[in-house]
Each structure stands twice: as structure tokens, then as C-alpha cells.
């Protein structure tokens, strides 16, 4: 169990006690030591008083997946002692607040127990309930600094940055850090067999969550209108967008060059995005599954009336309210064909915050180019957890792809403008923006319309428009982001996965390779599926589809869209609401290769 | 009716407005509503209002939901940009459109089913935001396209065509709007063009949400004896509170527009235009929300329909005012201004280390 920069630990606390900032501090300190690190916040749908956990994985090789069980568990919540102790690896360590005795019945004889009287020390040192509670968190950070050999200079400089202007807070934090650090040093052999050692692997990286990254992508892509209804786990996307806009989007007089509307519900938010898209603005709405359900009607309108609109779905655990603070990939089928009637929508599947940033931009380009609703399908794990990513860069030569828009000059050249006439193979018809020129006027409607934009109840005229939309979506399938494909010599089968499964799947494949099992890998990044996806499906007889939902939705989509026989697609699914773990991938793949049952 | 194409020939002597356009230039497609439908009279009044205000047709964004009323956006100003959206959700589309481009004239046409049932929430929130739009609610107390069910504005005791009486209390859009803080609340009657046109003009120039509730009888399903939304009933119970003359900023005040008696009150609108109220009801104060509310309620208790510009507040900021937006359309801001660029991004990246 002795390993440097390769272990994982978990901190169990009570939510609302200020542990989030202590945990953030820990993670950032490790990152600043140049060591690759990833954090998963497993939190309740609650404001105060329920159990919450923070999992930190340190991986010198840069692996990002969740890997329970843990080398060390910091148990600060008496209410979850039993469960927390069970999640420690054999030979692992438990650190707990020894101010109060731990029930011996919880303990195991295959772990080492480290008791630190955090509460007692903080009660003796600090005054007032709030400060004592807050500083207990900082004190366990100090103890961990000793046990894991976190660079104290790094911690000190971070506290200085954070509290530099508030001297009394800075002093309290220093004091609390020392309480934990010194007690651990004096009473236990520090560091533990697994611990940290400074590296140089994070220099060109940042720690960012996917919601902030997506919001940044919206700002850089030129989005001006955001409409939303608060919903976990998508809320911070719009909050970040607002903060970035306040920073970057005010004119010399302080006037806002953006408009964010907090709508009365998700349904209205979708309508606002469509209204703004009709006017020619880049507009978006962030939401989660329940919001997508409500937006269905409007999405059908945007599809049929051909209005660009961008949606971010930060997926959470469904159905219904489900588990709002847990992750899942269970909105795939709903989004693909959202709304009544024959519809199909563009989807982009980022795997990490970096892709949230770039795919936000891609989504606006695709939505405008194909004049259709476009969804960036994220999940809670990507959206709300801090990921280590390559520093973002922006190509200053980028200009938005506005698609076929006839401006005043272009309108002068046409004899008459007809909204839904497409003159080339991609099925896209030129549009005009309201208010630009009388010649460009047309009537946008969700009712049956001809290619000229006029109302119809005639079968042939209706079909003509609907058939063109099929051609348009087929063209879009080749324009959405191509899949990530990694082929391995001698591969006997292929793995197909999506979004945030990436980290666990790639690590799992590395482990299987060590066992002599070679597999090809494809992560779909866009929908509808284009040629590269179909070509990959021709490589093998059998594939294993790995995804985070109960019903194998990605597998169903591939079966439906690619005409592939269902028995060729085996399935590994994790849908308990926690991010996919590497062990689940390895065990799942091995199980399928040994001929487990195929889902119906 | 759809097979009939409207002749586009214009009489050479037709009167032109300042843009050298005649009323015909503000017309739309041939109406497919029933002959005698109140909505067609509203359409005619709208055409007059836009024409008289010299509004360039292509600078108009006309939006609607679903229902008979919502069809009417197709029947005026062919050269405006129209958006026939989904049932009850026009306010959201209008909100997004206005957020993106505040420079256009916005008109939303809705009905009592569209606004008071399926879209009640959306209308309320558009009012709260003081979205800058002329919101015409063509109110006939009945669902026409689905053949005669009561709507939420039907009065207690009002009879359906087949004879059954409505038992649930009505939602009065005027009282509702007053309660929600609407900045412009009017009611009129499709049969009174002389009153309706100035109201529509004032609503168009109002810098916020202008509700014009128009009693617009349904000749097919709700114009019989016993209905309180029929032509006859409305004419018999019509109470014109405060008829208005609307004087746009850029026009000299003509004699007919000018205040003539002591009973005239004037309200200056945000753009400098003026609304003159000829006060028929003694001591009616159209700038007092409480007074308007009491008056409308009392009239309703008496079985009367209070009409006119019932309340006006030119002081409250619209959605963009609250947001602190730039004065021009967001759609006109060049991308180069919107994108912070890579140098700024690299500075920002330091905050994520």
C-alpha cells in the first residue's frame, strides 16, 4: 500500500458546516504541488444537516475516474461512521474526530485508526459555535497535511490569497491548520505509507468544473441572451455566465451587452431562447432532465420552424425528481426525439470541462448552420465537479458560423425570398432576420407550411418540407463532433461509450491491456451518428456499450439509428447516481466478454 | 376562404402616410375567420393604428399563440415578421425576441384561452418584467376552434350555445394586470373602432407592457342571448370610462386632438407622445392603480364593462431598463465586441489554478 502520488481518500462531513471550502483547499494544494488530482463532491439535495462526502483521487498518471474503496477515510460525521468505515480498503486508514469515542462495533481489524481530537482542540482554541465548526474543517486539513505530506508553504500561500485582507480570518485559519498538523506529527508516524511528493505535471493545467467551462464557451462564442430556470445541477452554468458577462460584457458606460432572463419555468426559458434565436441572437438555456421534459413542445416548434436554439442538459438521476444531486446519463433517448411528431435533434456529448468549453462554441455554430435545436448533453459529474484540464485557449481568428442568413445586400440580389426553399444538398434553407429588410419578411409558424412559408394542409406540400428536414439532419450528422476512436492491435471487440464515462473506461482498458485483453474504443461525441461511427461499427462483430443509465439508452440509439442487430451490442450500465468507477468498467467488460446476458 | 387571393391592386387616390404607404400596405392575408368575427374588426383597427403611426412594416414583430385570435397575426402587415408560436407561450417567445432586439415594435395577439388558461403564467410574468409589447387580448369567453367550450373569462351565469350556464368565476385580465403591476391597462370593444385605434396607438408607443383587453364577440359560438360576451350584451352594458386621444410626439397637435374642456387629463409617454383622457366618469384617475381597480370591479358588479385606458404608468422601466441593457439591439453588437479574446482568457485561467 506504499505509493507516492497514487491513492484516493474520502472525507465524510455534515453539509452546511463549511467543509466544502476546506476540501477545495486540499484539492487545490495538491494541484499546486504539481500532482494530478480530481475531486468528486457527493452531496445531498439539502441545505444543512445531511451527510456529504468529498472524494479526492491523486493520480500521478493523470487518471480521473472514481476508484472506491479508499486508502483513507476522514470520518467527521458520526451519523455515517458505519458506512464510511466499510469503504476503506483492507490495510487502509481511518481518521476520525477523537473528541468523542467511536463505537467499537464499527471498527475493523484490517484498518489503522487515527484519532485526532479536532473538536476538542477547536473548542479550546476558538470562541463561538460558528468559528469552532468552521475551524474544525481547517484543522482536519492540517492533520491531512501532516499525514499526506502536503506542502505547508503551498497551504500558507493559498490562505494568504484567500484571507490576506481579513487578518483575523487568516490568523484563525493558520492556527487551525497548525492544530491538526502538530497533533498528527506528535502522535502518529507521518507521513502515511501513501502520500504526496511534489511533481511538475499540472503546470499547463487548470482546475475547473464543466458548468463554468460551458458558460465561458457561451461568452466566447458570442451568446448574448440566456434564459433559465434554476435547477440542480445546471444552476451554476448560468451563474457563471452572469459573472463572466459582468466582467467582460459591459460597454464603456457600464451598460450590459447581454440579457439574462430568469424565466418562470423551463418551458418559458425554451420559448425565450427560440424568440431570441429567431431575431438572430445566439441564445441558450441550461437545464436538467425535468426541464428538458417541460421544453418538449417548444423544441418541436424550433425543429419544425427551423429556429436555432442551444440547450445545455446537465443530466441528473431520474426519473421524475429522482436524485437531483446525483449523476446519470439518462436523458439521451428523451432528447434525441424530443417533442411530438417526427423530430430528431443534434446532441453533443462532452466528456470533461475542456470539451464543455469547445462544444458550447460548436453547439452555437451547428444550431445556426442547421437552424435547429442543439443540445450539449453534460452530466452532474462533469458540470459540478472540479476537473483537471489543459488550460483553455481561444483562437482569435474564430468567427461564428451564422449559417445561411440573407442580409440586406443579399436580399437585393434575389427576386423574391422564400423561407423554406433549399437550393443545395444539405437541406438548409436560407433565413432572414426580422427588421432587416421588407423583402425578407416571412411568417414563422409551427403549423403546416409549404416551402414558401405559407400555411398548408396539403399532403404533398407538407411532405416536401418534412422530407427536406430529413436531408438536413443527415447533413448535420456529418458535421457534429466526430467520435474519439482508439484502436488497438489484435482487438477482439469494441467498446462504445459516451460523455463522462471516458476516464473510467480508458483507465479500465489500460488495466485490461495489462491482463492481455485488447479492445478498440469509441466515444461518441455527437448525434445523429455520422459516418465514422458507422465505420467503427463495421470493425467487429461484438461491441460493449458502457453508459450510465438503467435502460442502455445509448445502445438503443445505436440500434435504432445505425440499423445494427441488437445482439451485437453487449451492455455495461452503472446507474446508481455516482460517477462511473474503473472497477465497474473492468468487471463489467470481463463479465460481458464471458457471456453475460444481453439486455432486452 | 383560403382559396381566395386578396387583390393587391391599390386605388391611386388612397391616402398615404408619412412613409408614402396606404392602409393597404399594412394589410395581411385574407382572414379565414367566420364572417362577422370580432377579431377581424380588431385587425382592421390594428392596420389603422400602425398606418397612422407611420411605422415601417418590416420593423414590426407580430407574435401570437394558438387559437382563433392567434390566427390574426397573419391578417395584418404582410411585410412584418410574424411568429405563430405554441399555445399560450407567445409571451416567452416575445420576451426572448425583445431581449435580442429591442429596436422593433412588438405586438402580441392572444385570446382568452391562450392568455387566461394555458398561458396565464406566461402573461403574468411578461407583465412582471414589463416587457415592451402591445399585448392585445381578443376576449370572447369561448374556445372557438374546438367548438364552444367556456373559457376562463366567461362570466358566471353566461350561457353556452347549447344552453348550459357557466358556474365558475371569470378571470378578468384587466383586474389581474392591475394587481400584477402592469404599466398600461386598457379595455375596449371590437365594435368600437373609434375608441380602439387610439388605445392601440398609445399601447404601441408605451414603453412597457401594454395590455389591451378587447371584447371581441364570437359570432359562431358565443353571440347568442344569455351570453355576456355577445355584441348585443357588450353594447348594452358598455361603460366608457376615459376615452383617449393619442398624440404622437412628432405630430403637431391638431385641433381635434387638442384638449377642449376642463375634463381632459394628459399623460406624457416615455417617448414624449401624449395621451389625452376625456373624463366621462367624474374624478376618475387613470394614474391611480387603486382607483382603476375599484372602478373596474364596481362596474363588473353592476354587470357593466368598463372600457378605455383604465390605467397608465409611464415611469416604470421595461425589461431592458431593469437589466441595464445597451440602448441598441444586442443583435447589432459585432462579434469582435462580444468575444473577450484569448489574452483575456489567459488572464482568467490564472484564477483557476
pLDDT at A270 over 90: yes
Which residues does chain A have within 8 Å of residue B133's beta carbon, measured at their own beta carbons? none
Strands B305-312, B184-189: pairing kind? antiparallel
For residue B278, what pLDDT is reported?
A: 65
Is residue A500 in a domain?
A: yes
Measured between CB atoms, which of B84, B344, B349 is closest to A446? B84
Based on the domain organization, do A240 and A136 belong to the same domain?
Answer: no
Percent of chain B at pLDDT > 90 equals: 71
**A436, B79: Cβ pair inside 8 Å?**
no
pLDDT in tens, B46-93: 999 999 999 999 999 999 999 999 999 999 999 999 999 999 999 999
Output the domain CATH number for residue A170. 3.40.920.10
Which residues does chain B have within 8 Å of residue A443's beta carbon, measured at their own beta carbons? 73-74, 81-84
**A224, B59: Cβ pair inside 8 Å?**
no
Based on the domain organization, do A336 and A380 belong to the same domain?
Answer: yes
Is residue A398 in a domain?
A: no
Which residues does chain B have within 8 Å of residue A268's beta carbon, measured at their own beta carbons? 89, 91-92, 95, 121-122, 125
A503 touches chain B (CB under 8 A): no
**B331, A433: Cβ pair inside 8 Å?**
yes
Which of A553, A241, A577, A567 minimizes the C-alpha distance to A380?
A577
- Between chain A and chain B, how many beta carbons pairs sit less than 8 Å apart? 215
- When pLDDT is cut at 50, 70 and 90, the band that residue B342 belongs to is very high
Which residues does chain B have within 8 Å of residue A255's beta carbon, measured at their own beta carbons? 324-327
Torsion angle defined by CA atoms of residues B16, B17, B23 and B29, in that order, rounded to the nearest 10 degrees: 120
Output the domain CATH number for residue A555. 3.40.50.920
Based on the domain organization, do A424 and A448 belong to the same domain?
Answer: yes
Is residue A264 in a domain?
A: yes
Q: Compare B248 and A514 and report the one with higher pLDDT.
A: A514
For residue B282, what pLDDT is reported?
A: 66
Number of domains composing chain A: 4
pLDDT in tens, A103-134: 888 889 999 999 999 999 999 999 999 999 99
pLDDT at B129 over 80: yes
Based on the domain organization, do A181 and A243 belong to the same domain?
Answer: no
**A269, B92: Cβ pair inside 8 Å?**
yes
- Count CA atoms closer than 13 A to A441's CA, side-chain side: 20
For residue B279, what pLDDT is reported?
A: 60
Based on the domain organization, do A506 and A451 belong to the same domain?
Answer: no
Based on the domain organization, do A124 and A178 belong to the same domain?
Answer: yes
**B83, A255: Cβ pair inside 8 Å?**
no
Based on the domain organization, do A87 and A179 belong to the same domain?
Answer: yes
Strands A520-524, A484-486: pairing kind? antiparallel
Based on the domain organization, do A253 and A177 belong to the same domain?
Answer: no
The backbone region for B130, taken as left when phi is positive above 0, alpha when psi lies in -120 to 50, beta otherwise, is: left
Please, what is the Cα angle at A265 between B325 and A211, to 5 degrees?
70
Where do the DSSP E strands lie in chain B?
60-64, 81-84, 105-111, 133-139, 142-143, 149-150, 184-189, 209-215, 238-242, 244-247, 264-268, 274-278, 305-312
Based on the domain organization, do A244 and A303 belong to the same domain?
Answer: yes
- When pLDDT is cut at 50, 70 and 90, the band that residue B239 belongs to is confident
For residue B258, what pLDDT is reported?
A: 43
Closest residue of B to A393, CA-based?
Answer: B342
For residue A483, what pLDDT is reported?
A: 98
Output the domain CATH number for residue A212. 3.40.50.970
Is residue A200 in a domain?
A: no
pLDDT at B256 over 60: no
Mutate: best of A265, A389, A434, A448, partner B, most B CBs <10 A: A434
**B353, A446: Cβ pair inside 8 Å?**
no
Is residue A330 in a domain?
A: yes
Based on the domain organization, do A554 and A501 belong to the same domain?
Answer: yes
Based on the domain organization, do A25 and A81 belong to the same domain?
Answer: yes
pLDDT at A92 over 90: yes
Is residue A159 in a domain?
A: yes
Mean pLDDT (whole number) for A444-450: 97
For residue B255, what pLDDT is reported?
A: 35
Measured between CB atoms, which of A272, A298, A394 is closest to B341? A394
Closest residue of B to A216, CA-based?
Answer: B345
CA B209/CA B87 separation, integer angstroms:
20
Q: Which domain holds residue A415?
A: 408-477
Measured between CB atoms, which of A280, A394, A433 is closest to B345? A394
- Last residue of a domain, which of A155, A187, A219? A187
Which residues does chain B have within 8 Å of residue A412's beta carbon, measured at their own beta carbons? none
For residue B314, what pLDDT is reported?
A: 87
Mean pLDDT (whole number) for B257-276: 66
Compute the mean pLDDT over every residue in chain B, rounded to the nearest whole number: 90
- When pLDDT is cut at 50, 70 and 90, the band that residue B251 belongs to is very low
Percent of chain A at pLDDT > 70 equals: 99
Compute the mean pLDDT over every residue in chain A, rounded to the nearest whole number: 96
Based on the domain organization, do A464 and A568 belong to the same domain?
Answer: no
Distance from CA of B216 to the nearest CA of A (A): 24
- When pLDDT is cut at 50, 70 and 90, the band that residue B263 belongs to is low
Q: Cis before residue B186, ω within 30 degrees of 0?
A: no
Structural domains of chain B, ranges and CATH numbers in brackets: 23-337 (3.40.50.970)
pLDDT in tens, A374-395: 999 999 999 999 999 999 999 9
Strand partners, B186: B212, B309
pLDDT at B303 over 90: no
A261 touches chain B (CB under 8 A): yes
Is residue A556 in a domain?
A: yes
Distance from CA of B52 to the nearest CA of A (A): 19
Which residues does chain B have within 8 Å of residue A438's beta carbon, measured at their own beta carbons? 56-58, 79
Mean pLDDT (whole number) for B232-241: 87
pLDDT at B194 over 50: yes
Is residue A194 in a domain?
A: no
**A437, B58: Cβ pair inside 8 Å?**
yes
A152 touches chain B (CB under 8 A): no
Amino acid at each position: 500500500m506504499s505509493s507516492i502520488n497514487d491513492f484516493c481518500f474520502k472525507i465524510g462531513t455534515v453539509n452546511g458546516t463549511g467543509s466544502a471550502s476546506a476540501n477545495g483547499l486540499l484539492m487545490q494544494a495538491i494541484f499546486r504541488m504539481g500532482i494530478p488530482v480530481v475531486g468528486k463532491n457527493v452531496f445531498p439535495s439539502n441545505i444543512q444537516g445531511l451527510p456529504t462526502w468529498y472524494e479526492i483521487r491523486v493520480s500521478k498518471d493523470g487518471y480521473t475516474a472514481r476508484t472506491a474503496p479508499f486508502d483513507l477515510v476522514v470520518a467527521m460525521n458520526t451519523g455515517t461512521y458505519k458506512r464510511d468505515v466499510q469503504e476503506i480498503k483492507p490495510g487502509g486508514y481511518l481518521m476520525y474526530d477523537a473528541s468523542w469515542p467511536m463505537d467499537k462495533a464499527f471498527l475493523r481489524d484490517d484498518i489503522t485508526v487515527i484519532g485526532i481530537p479536532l473538536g476538542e482542540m477547536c473548542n479550546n482554541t476558538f470562541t463561538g459555535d460558528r468559528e469552532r465548526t468552521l475551524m474544525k474543517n481547517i484543522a482536519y486539513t492540517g492533520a491531512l497535511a501532516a499525514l499526506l505530506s502536503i506542502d505547508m508553504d503551498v497551504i500558507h500561500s493559498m490562505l494568504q490569497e484567500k484571507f490576506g485582507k481579513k487578518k483575523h480570518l487568516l490568523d484563525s485559519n493558520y492556527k487551525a491548520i497548525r492544530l491538526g498538523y502538530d497533533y498528527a506529527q506528535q502522535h502518529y508516524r507521518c507521513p502515511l505509507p501513501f502520500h504526496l511528493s511534489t511533481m511538475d505535471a499540472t503546470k499547463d493545467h487548470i482546475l475547473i468544473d464543466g458548468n463554468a467551462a460551458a458558460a465561458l464557451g457561451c461568452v466566447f462564442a458570442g451568446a448574448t441572451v440566456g434564459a433559465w430556470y434554476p435547477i440542480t445541477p445546471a444552476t451554476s452554468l448560468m451563474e457563471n455566465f452572469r459573472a463572466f458577462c459582468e466582467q467582460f460584457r459591459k460597454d464603456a458606460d457600464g451598460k450590459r451587452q447581454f440579457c439574462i432572463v430568469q424565466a418562470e419555468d423551463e418551458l418559458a426559458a425554451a420559448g425565450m431562447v427560440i424568440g431570441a434565436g429567431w431575431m438572430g441572437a445566439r441564445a441558450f438555456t441550461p437545464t436538467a432532465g425535468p426541464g428538458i421534459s417541460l421544453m418538449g413542445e417548444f423544441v418541436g416548434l424550433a425543429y419544425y420552424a427551423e429556429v436555432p436554439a442551444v440547450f445545455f442538459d446537465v443530466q441528473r438521476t431520474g426519473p421524475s425528481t429522482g436524485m437531483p444531486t446525483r449523476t446519470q446519463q439518462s436523458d439521451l433517448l428523451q432528447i434525441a426525439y424530443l417533442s411530438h411528431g417526427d423530430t430528431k435533434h443534434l446532441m453533443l456529448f462532452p466528456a470533461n470541462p475542456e470539451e464543455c468549453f469547445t462544444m458550447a462554441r460548436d453547439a452555437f455554430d451547428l444550431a445556426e448552420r442547421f437552424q435547429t435545436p442543439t443540445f450539449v448533453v453534460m452530466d452532474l459529474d462533469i458540470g459540478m465537479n472540479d476537473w483537471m484540464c489543459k488550460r483553455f485557449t481561444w483562437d482569435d481568428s474564430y468567427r461564428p458560423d451564422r449559417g445561411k442568413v440573407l442580409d440586406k445586400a443579399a436580399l437585393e440580389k434575389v427576386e423574391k425570398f422564400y423561407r423554406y426553399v433549399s437550393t443545395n444538398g444539405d437541406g438548409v434553407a436560407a433565413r432572414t432576420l426580422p427588421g432587416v429588410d421588407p423583402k425578407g419578411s416571412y411568417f414563422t409558424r409551427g403549423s403546416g407550411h409549404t416551402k414558401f412559408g405559407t400555411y398548408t394542409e396539403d399532403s404533398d406540400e407538407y411532405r416536401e418540407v418534412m422530407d427536406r428536414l430529413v436531408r438536413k439532419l443527415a447533413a448535420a450528422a456529418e458535421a457534429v463532433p466526430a467520435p474519439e476512436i482508439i484502436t488497438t492491435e489484435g482487438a477482439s471487440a469494441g467498446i462504445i461509450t459516451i460523455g463522462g464515462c471516458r476516464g473510467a473506461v480508458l483507465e479500465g482498458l489500460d488495466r485490461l491491456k495489462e491482463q492481455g485483453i485488447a479492445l478498440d474504443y469509441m466515444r461518441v461525441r455527437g448525434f445523429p451518428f455520422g459516418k465514422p461511427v458507422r465505420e467503427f461499427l463495421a470493425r467487429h462483430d461484438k461491441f460493449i456499450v458502457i453508459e450510465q443509465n438503467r435502460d442502455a439508452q445509448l445502445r438503443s440509439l445505436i440500434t435504432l439509428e445505425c440499423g445494427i442487430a441488437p445482439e451485437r451490442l453487449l451492455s455495461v450500465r452503472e446507474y446508481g447516481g455516482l460517477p462511473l468507477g474503473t472497477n465497474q468498467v473492468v468487471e463489467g467488460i470481463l463479465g460481458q466478454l464471458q457471456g453475460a446476458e444481453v439486455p432486452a | 376562404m383560403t382559396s381566395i387571393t386578396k387583390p393587391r391592386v391599390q386605388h391611386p387616390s388612397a391616402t398615404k402616410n408619412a412613409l408614402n404607404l396606404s392602409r393597404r400596405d399594412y394589410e395581411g392575408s385574407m382572414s379565414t375567420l367566420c364572417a362577422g368575427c370580432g377579431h377581424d374588426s380588431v385587425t382592421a383597427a390594428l392596420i389603422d393604428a400602425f398606418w397612422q403611426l407611420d411605422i415601417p412594416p418590416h420593423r414590426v414583430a407580430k407574435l401570437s399563440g394558438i387559437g382563433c385570435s392567434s390566427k390574426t397575426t397573419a391578417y395584418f402587415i404582410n411585410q412584418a415578421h410574424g411568429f405563430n408560436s405554441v399555445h399560450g407561450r407567445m409571451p416567452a417567445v416575445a420576451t426572448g425576441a425583445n431581449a435580442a432586439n429591442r429596436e422593433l415594435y412588438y405586438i402580441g395577439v392572444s385570446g382568452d384561452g391562450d392568455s387566461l388558461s394555458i398561458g396565464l403564467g406566461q402573461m403574468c410574468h411578461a407583465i412582471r418584467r414589463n416587457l415592451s409589447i402591445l399585448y392585445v387580448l381578443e376576449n370572447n369567453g369561448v374556445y372557438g376552434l374546438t367548438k364552444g367550450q367556456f373559457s376562463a373569462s366567461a362570466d358566471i351565469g353566461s350561457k353556452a350555445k347549447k344552453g348550459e350556464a357557466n358556474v365558475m368565476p371569470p378571470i378578468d385580465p384587466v383586474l389581474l394586470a392591475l394587481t400584477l403591476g402592469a404599466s398600461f391597462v386598457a379595455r375596449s370593444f371590437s365594435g368600437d373602432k373609434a375608441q380602439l385605434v387610439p388605445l392601440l396607438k398609445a399601447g404601441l408607443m408605451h414603453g412597457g407592457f401594454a395590455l389591451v383587453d378587447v371584447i371581441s364577440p364570437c359570432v359562431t359560438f358565443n353571440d347568442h342571448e344569455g351570453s355576456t360576451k355577445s355584441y348585443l350584451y357588450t353594447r348594452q352594458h358598455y361603460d366608457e370610462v376615459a376615452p383617449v386621444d393619442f398624440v404622437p410626439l412628432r405630430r403637431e397637435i391638431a385641433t381635434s386632438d387638442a384638449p377642449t374642456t376642463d375634463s381632459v387629463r394628459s399623460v406624457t409617454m416615455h417617448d414624449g407622445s401624449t395621451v389625452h383622457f376625456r373624463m366621462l366618469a367624474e374624478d376618475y384617475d387613470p394614474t391611480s392603480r387603486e382607483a382603476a381597480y375599484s372602478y373596474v370591479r364596481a362596474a363588473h358588479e353592476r354587470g357593466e364593462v368598463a372600457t378605455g385606458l383604465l390605467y397608465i404608468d409611464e415611469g416604470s422601466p421595461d425589461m431592458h431598463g431593469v437589466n441595464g441593457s445597451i440602448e441598441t439591439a444586442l443583435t447589432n453588437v459585432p462579434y469582435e465586441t462580444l468575444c473577450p479574446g484569448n489574452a483575456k482568457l489567459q488572464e482568467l485561467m490564472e484564477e483557476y489554478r
